[in-house]
């Protein structure tokens, strides 16, 4: 099994699986990769959380778009699209964590639900250094940060509860660009120093 000093999950290169350290035992983690047609990629881990909400409807992406007043027209297909919060599965500055959580939660990246072999090579992925339950502590802050209508959402926040009911580890593809990493679909840049 592969892991680094700060890893909270270990990777088995033989069976291509990820295991979370849970006390003195290991728990298997559902892990998927976002599709990309590019080669020589570096995969960055994110938690995709399904959330149960009280005080606000967040069952579908359309519910989410209305709740945070996304500056987009709510599409008919969003009424059937599940809603997930996307949070970095690695330690970073609070500013970077919130920025990435906001952008990827709004974007809802596509995921290949078939198991991918991208993490079989140690140099092709960043280690998981933040547990899903620890990342989920910021769900309400992320919801508030995403909102484009603070007057509409902020008064509701004291009565809103958000609880992660399931999670998956998603590996998103980035390409190296100088010292930075650039996400292949959104063209989002992360400082390479984040993963040193």
31: in domain: no
4: in domain: no
Lowest mean pLDDT among 10-24, 146-160, 161-175: 10-24
DSSP state of 186: T
Using CB atoms within 10 A of its CB, is residue 82 exposed (0-12), middle (13-18) or buried (19+)? exposed
Q: How many domains does the chain have?
A: 1
Alpha helices in the chain (DSSP H): 61-67, 94-107, 132-135, 139-146, 150-153
DSSP state of 155: G
pLDDT-based confidence at residue 9 (cuts at 50, 70, 90): confident
8: in domain: no
More confident: 116 or 44: 44
- End-to-end, the C-alpha distance of the chain in Å comes to 20
Measuring CA to CA, which residue among 164, 74, 145, 73 is closest to residue 105?
Answer: 145
Q: The tokens of 33 are what?
A: 């990769």
59: in domain: yes
What's the mean per-residue pLDDT of the chain? 85
pLDDT-based confidence at residue 5 (cuts at 50, 70, 90): low
% of the chain surpassing 90 pLDDT = 47
12: in domain: no
Strands 161-177 and 31-33: parallel
7: in domain: no
- Range of 6-20, 92-106, 179-193 with top mean pLDDT: 92-106
Structural domain harbouring 157: 38-110+120-195
Q: What is the pTM of this model?
A: 0.88
Model confidence pLDDT, tens digit, residues 40-54: 788 889 999 999 999
Q: What is the DSSP string of 104-136?
A: HHHH----B-S---GGGSGGGBPPP-S-HHHHG
Mean pLDDT, range 98-105, rounded to an integer:
94
pLDDT number for residue 16: 66
22: in domain: no
More confident: 164 or 41: 164
pLDDT-based confidence at residue 139 (cuts at 50, 70, 90): very high
């Amino acid at each position: 099994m592969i892991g680094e000093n700060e890893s909270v999950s270990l990777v088995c290169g033989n069976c291509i699986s990820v295991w979370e350290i849970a006390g003195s035992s290991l728990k298997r983690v559902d892990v998927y990769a976002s599709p990309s047609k590019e080669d020589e990629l570096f995969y960055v881990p994110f938690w995709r959380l399904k959330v149960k909400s009280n005080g606000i409807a967040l069952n579908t992406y359309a519910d989410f778009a209305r709740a945070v007043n996304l500056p987009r027209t709510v599409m008919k297909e969003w009424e059937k699209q599940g809603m997930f919060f996307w949070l970095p599965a690695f330690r970073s500055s609070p500013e970077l964590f919130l920025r990435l959580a906001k952008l990827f939660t709004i974007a809802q990246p596509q995921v290949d639900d078939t198991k991918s072999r991208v993490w079989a090579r140690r140099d092709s992925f960043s280690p998981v250094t933040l547990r899903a339950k620890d990342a989920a502590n910021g769900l309400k802050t992320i919801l508030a940060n995403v909102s484009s209508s603070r007057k509409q959402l902020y008064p509701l926040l004291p009565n809103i509860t958000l609880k992660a009911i399931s999670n998956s580890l998603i590996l998103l593809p980035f390409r190296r660009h100088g010292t930075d990493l650039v996400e292949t679909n959104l063209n989002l840049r992360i400082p390479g120093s984040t993963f040193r």
